[in-house]
Amino acid sequence: MVRRVPCSRACFILANSIGKCQADLLDKMGHVKLQTQTGINAIEDGSGLCDAGYPNKTTVACMINAEIGAVLAVMRRNVRWGVHYMSDDDQLEHFLVQSLKVLRRQIFSWHNQWHVISPSLYLQPFLDVIQSDETGAPITGVALSSVYKILTLDVIDQNTVNVGDAMHLVVDAVTSCRFEVTDPGSEEVVLMKILQVLLACVKSKASMMLSNQHICTIVNTCFRIVHQAGTKSELLQRIARYTMHELVRCIFSHLQDINNTELALVNGSTTLKQGTGGLNNEHNSANRQLENGSLNSASDSQPLSACIAGTDSGSVSDVTATVVVEDAGIVSSGKETDLNELQLMNEPYGIPCMVEIFHFLCSLLNVVEHMGMSPRSNTIAFDEDVPLFALTLINSAIELGGPSFHRHPRLLYLIQDELFCNLMQFGLSMSPLVLSMACSIVLNLYHHLRTELKLQIEAFFSCIILRLAQSKYGASYQQQEVAMEALVDFCRQKTFMVEMYANFDCDITCSNVFEDIANLLSKSAFPVNTPLSSMHILALDGLIAVMQGMAERIGIGSLSSEQSPVNLEEYTPFWHEKCENFSDPKIWVPFVYRRKYFKKRLMIGADHFNRDTKKGLEFLQGTHLLPDKLDAPSVACFFRYTAGLDKNLIGDFLGNHDEFCIQVLHEFARTFDFKDMMLDTALRLFLETFRLPGESQKIQRVLEAFSERYYEQAPHILANKDAALLLSYSIIMLNTDQHNSQVKKKMTEEDFIRNNRRINGGNDLPREFLSELYHSICKNEIQTTPEQGSGFPEMTPSRWIYLLHKSKKSAPFIVSDSKAYLDFDMFSILSGPTIAAISVVFDNAENAEVYQTCMDGFLAVAKISAHYHVENILDDLVVSLCKFVTVFDPLSVEDSIIAFGDDTKARMATETVFTIANRYGDYIRTGWRNILDCILKFHKLGLLPARMASDAAEESELSTETEDGGKRNTNSLSLSRLPSVSTPKRSSGLMSRFSQLLYLGAEEPRSVPTKEQLAAQQCTLQTIQKCHIDSIFTESKFLQAESLLHLSKALTSAAGQPKKGNSASEDEDTSVFCLELLVAITLNNRDRIELLWQGVYEHISNIVQSTVMPCALVEKAVFGLLRICHRLLPYKENITDELLRSLQLVLKLDARVADAYYEQITHEVSHLMKANASHIRSHLGWRTITSLLSITARHLEAAEAGFDALLFIMSDRAHLLPANYVLCVDAAKQFAESRVGQVDRSVMALDLMAGSVSCLEKWTKDAKQATKEEEVAKMLQDIGDMWVRLIQGLKKLCLDQREEVRNHALLSLQNSLTGSVGINLPDSLWLQCFDQVIFSVLDELLEISQTHSQKDFRNIEGTLVLGLKLLCKVFLQLIQDLSQLAGFSKLWLAVLSRLEIYMKVKIRGRRSEKLQELVPELLKNILLVMKTGGVLVQSSSVDGSSLWELTWLHINNFAPSLQSAVFHEQDSEHLQHKQSEKVEGLGPDVCNSVSSNETAGKDDPGIG
């Protein structure tokens, strides 16, 4: 058998390859391994080798000589090539042997370098051997090896002389190789070496000298061997496929180096006419096949495999079968080839051969259905082998060509049409391998050419990926899994989902690919009544990949955080709006937002329309999506481009006889582009958009509109629109006839042709045209009841043709630049399903890796939610996560800790919850309640720091209350001064808890923990430490206001409502802990106390008022309130009163509770007041303080601290203010009245009261400096009121039962009255003072002396003496002013009356000697002063009512001798001298009033 490889032309045979799907080069084929220096990497890098050094001349000659010897040695084994003698003319050496020997003689005689020697000289003898049909397979194989070796010596490159001719000779010789087959093994060796040499040619440095024709010939030959290898050994199959794969890679790796687009256009557009009319004609044929309903190219020729039959040994055979398929890719149809085309094919290879090869690879996918199977075909499944092999080659070409396809329209069009059309078919393959490879190709195309494949990508997802990934469309589990894997791969591309949303979801005419993918992934991640599978996790990976992509875009930048809303005030024809610049985000982002708004509103309008046509249109008018006055074009666009409309309603509307409906119908038809479409294809597209009405008149109107539009755009052979109408009618009738089961007798082709005679303007239509229409309708029914809804339809031929037409007019593909332009809207759609899916998967998962994936997803969602301030989503996420923070309450503390440590899921959820709380707490709202529940769980187990809340407060305190030199203010409220709350024993600190677990108490013996238990405990502690729970509260000052408020409310809610009586210790422990945290965040947020105060106060108030017994909770509430006031008073003057008013809660404490804590409360109030006295300005604030201090006067333990605080206020007068004067006086009176403690405290209180007069005098001076008279009068009146309050307070104390207090009170009252001269009190007030205070005190003291025993009021006589001295001293000091008053006589008589009574009083049954002596003496002094001052002068009146007469009338009753003693006839100087001696005790003021030159004497001890 002789094999031959003919090389008639550079043509492909459109045939099927039968063999393995992967062409791996096995280790055993080492003899065909390529030299690394000629590998594809060198070609891809474009590194020129012409500068490299050539091998040594002698070395190369020796190598070639060795190859000659090897060939001759093999030839000599055959008798035919044996020794011949020169004498025998007929036995001369054969030409092949002779040429080899001649070459051997010459190679060592050549003097030039090898690159200047034509390679043909030393290659031709070997090529002759290869081409000879007289040589056997062993000889041919050795010759091929020799050629391969020479090609790989780096002797031949692009600079070698005549290298182009030499390379052409090699390709021609190898592709036309002929040899005699002796055994199958040797035949396969030769085929392998042929592949080896051809691949070496393409990888050679001189490969660029090969023409387009030779490249096509090489690929054609290799494919023939691939095809024939299906009946050969596994090794040959794999080598053949590997070689084919490498050829494609080498050829298309040059595509990126071809930059001349113009040349590529010329080359690509003129090359293929040597085939069946070129690619244009072939594409028309493909379109015709599509119209006939087949996605595969139809071929009626003999199946290729049937032409490849084995022949008997010894016969002559070609390497591959010479089979020609009629519609093969570039097989000649016998037409003359244009000289220009031949010239292009003979040029160095470039775009022309790449177009041929790529088209051929696509055509391999078209003949799958028309191929037979050889009985000796390999074990690879036939239904997946051929497409898989072709798809693999195509994928390699796209990988290497990459974006360079974009520069070459012919290649690009092959991808847009033929390749994608086939991908749409093989995407539905039952073979997972084929489906996977198709998806890989689309992924590569997306990366490199997505701007040119917008609608193709949409179709692939809608019709393939989204259909197969769902079980409801009948896909197998394997198909679902492959589709899901492909979808997730796309989702992992950072900008994929953004571009899907921008290009499709925001395009009115496209489907919502983003939403469909999101819905699919979220639903697929849910394990419904099934265990968790890889499919669920895969879908979840896709969702999380999308979320992580959004999270990574945060901070990269966007136009604005939120786009301004679209407001339509009137209708605009938005259907055909265009974006000015799709490359500028400032332009296209608002544009797509606007389009998305329209699309959303249209979806709502479609829903209204489907329920009620009229109301639906009215709704659209109301939203300005249709004009107020309906016009036909706008309604037609609504019907044409709005998804989800009920197609029955559209059909009824369009078929209506109403004039407006007819206008809409014709406008509707004008929205279609029927250019270059066959009539049946156009009709299919038209009828897919609505349901054709059943009434003949409606059908008539619809078809008239269609025919008019079709004839307008694609008349072809039709004479007029009536011909189009009649033919359309005929097609509809044929469709009904052929596909209606009730029609028994079907219309034949002849019947159809006969029915359409003379309809074309009186002439017949071409028979071939009608025949094509007939078969198209018979094979594929026109769906007059199209699919409803917006599901995932199958791709039909007519839909594909429409897609290609539509792609010419569609908006450009928007390429995202990895910025977050649309992420907010996308996140709004995706967040809810993602959180739910992650939660369900996390709940059902049992793998740590899946746990981590879920946590990464949660964190990504949290980050995005926080960035876009979507609080409700973040709350949902927190709620979902907190469900997994499980602590086993029924177990013991130790068991619960161990169980938590063993629960990886719970620990990871815990860490994630608190990571979110710490990072994104600003945007948590209701979720704080769930977080607090988790914190409380750990608190109950004693896993939190022992003083976590207190530490937070102290830290704030230390950081803000340090003074110069870093010293702490000694008056500040310290936690060390606060009583410690008796917390449960188990609520110990984190490390102490661990210690307890390690060293269990000896009192209750337990088993020693195992290593596993200790490890679990350690895990628990590490988890809690990682959570940084305390940071939530210590850093709460950085929380946004709303979040902080929700945190505060959550703490209040978690603490629960306080209950009357004793509550369970566990509940109280929780309430105490929450209260501590509440106080902590309040202290940490002093600058925002207004935000928190109301809630905090109400909570503490509820605790205080509902507690009837001392307990830790009320203790913490009271002292927490005091701490808040103490900390905030210096900084928040605007709410000082409110803070201080809150302290009145202390006054509402139950008596038992107050008794338990009042000493400590007083200390704290004292510290608070001392530290903040300067900040308390209002009367209200001081009233609260003094009220608290006043209560302590009756409390034995608290009195000292309370009086100390009062002493601080009143002693140095610095903090005594008009606002607190009366309050402090009242408080001092309380302490003076109190019998708790020593009398000294009461005496000191009296001193404080008396000393406060100086403040009144100072304020009077200050008041006089005021500018406004009204203000002066008001201030003086207020001072007078304060003075009255002081005097009245002292008056009461003058009646105290205790002698020391009573007597000191009288002295204090005397000092206060005599020291009030500078206060500038009105005379009327003094009269009131005498009447209501002085006289009242004297009268009441007198009454006490008469009614009470000595035991009750000890030494009352001394008190009476002091009272009289008080009366006389005050009267003498004020006599000059009082004498001017009209009521002076009455006042004077009242004084005389008291003196008389005291003179005559009996104490315990006898007159008082002290009073008997004191009264005349005091009265005499008064009279002398009155005489000297001219107040009392001798006068008379008719009725005897003069002051003189009344005075002596009264005095003579009890001291008749005084008149002569005071008013006797003596020398005035002697009299004045005597008077001065008598009144020495009245002091300087009185003496000065007697005489201006009178000197002051010492007070009389009896009066002073």
Catalytic residues: 695
Query: Encoding tokens for residue 52?
Result: 């490299």
Query: Encoding tokens for residue 285?
Result: 């044929």
How far is it, in rounded angstroms, from Cα 115 to Cα 742? 81
Q: Where would I find the H helices in 1355-1408?
A: 1356-1378, 1384-1400
Give DSSP secondary structure letters for 1063-1132: --HHHHHHHHHHHHHHHHHHHHTGGGHHHHHHHHHHHHHHHHHH--S--HHHHHHHHHHHHHHHHHTTT-
Contact between 435 and 468 under an 8 Å Cβ cutoff? The reply is: yes
Which stretch of DSSP H or E encloses residue 1440?
Answer: none
How far is it, in rounded angstroms, from Cα 11 to Cα 985? 93
Give DSSP secondary structure letters for 615-672: HHHHHHHHTTSS-SS--HHHHHHHHHH-TT--HHHHHHHHH--SHHHHHHHHHHHHT-
How far is it, in rounded angstroms, from Cα 635 to Cα 602? 12
Task: Please name which of 267, 277, 268, 280 lies closest in space to residue 334, comparing C-alpha atoms.
Answer: 277
Query: Encoding tokens for residue 611?
Result: 């329920």
Q: How far is CA 816 from the centre of its chain?
A: 19
How far is it, in rounded angstroms, from Cα 1173 to Cα 1158? 21
Contact between 225 and 195 under an 8 Å Cβ cutoff? The reply is: yes
How far is it, in rounded angstroms, from Cα 1473 to Cα 1477? 7
Q: Where would I find the H helices in 108-183?
A: 119-131, 137-151, 163-175
Which stretch of DSSP H or E encloses residue 725?
Answer: helix 721-739
Task: Please name which of 804, 660, 1025 lies closest in space to residue 283, comparing C-alpha atoms.
Answer: 804
Residue type, 1090: E
Rg (CA), the chain: 57
Three-class DSSP category at 149? helix
How far is it, in rounded angstroms, from Cα 563 to Cα 595? 13
How far is it, in rounded angstroms, from Cα 1500 to Cα 1504? 6
C-alpha distances in angstroms, 359 versus 220, 355, 714, 951?
13, 6, 28, 76
Q: Fill in the DSSP letter of residue 463.
A: I
Three-class DSSP category at 943? coil
Cα four-point dihedral sign 347, 350, 356, 360: positive
How far is it, in rounded angstroms, from Cα 1189 to Cα 1192? 5
Contact between 301 and 788 under an 8 Å Cβ cutoff? The reply is: no
3-state helix, strand, coil in the chain (%, to 5): 65, 0, 30
Task: Please name which of 458, 554, 556, 449 lies closest in space to residue 515, comparing C-alpha atoms.
Answer: 458
Residue type, 735: N
Task: Please name which of 304, 309, 311 lies closest in space to residue 327, comparing C-alpha atoms.
Answer: 304
Q: Where would I find the H helices in 892-926?
A: 893-902, 904-920
**Greatest pairwise CA separation for the chain in angstroms:** 205
